[in-house]
Amino acid sequence: VGEVVPDPAITRGGCRVETEFGSIDQQFERQVQRILEEMTGE
């Protein structure tokens, strides 16, 4: 069972999931950042 907690730092349409096993950040800005990192090798 989980808990939904609003966070004003999360952009509209975004989602961040944190568990004892790790976290997933699915905000649009973070996805773009990961794509750019892959493209530039950073």
**Which residues have a Cβ under 8 Å from the Cβ of 25 and sit 6 or more positions away?**
14, 16
The pLDDT, as a whole number, for residue 8 is 93
Number of domains in the chain: 1
Farthest CA pair distance, the chain = 39
List pLDDT tens digits, range 1-42.
788 899 999 988 899 999 889 999 999 999 999 999 999 987
The pLDDT, as a whole number, for residue 36 is 96
Query: Which structural domain, as residue segments, surrounds residue 21?
Result: 1-41
The pLDDT, as a whole number, for residue 2 is 83
The pLDDT, as a whole number, for residue 37 is 95
CA atoms within 13 A on the CB side of 17: 5
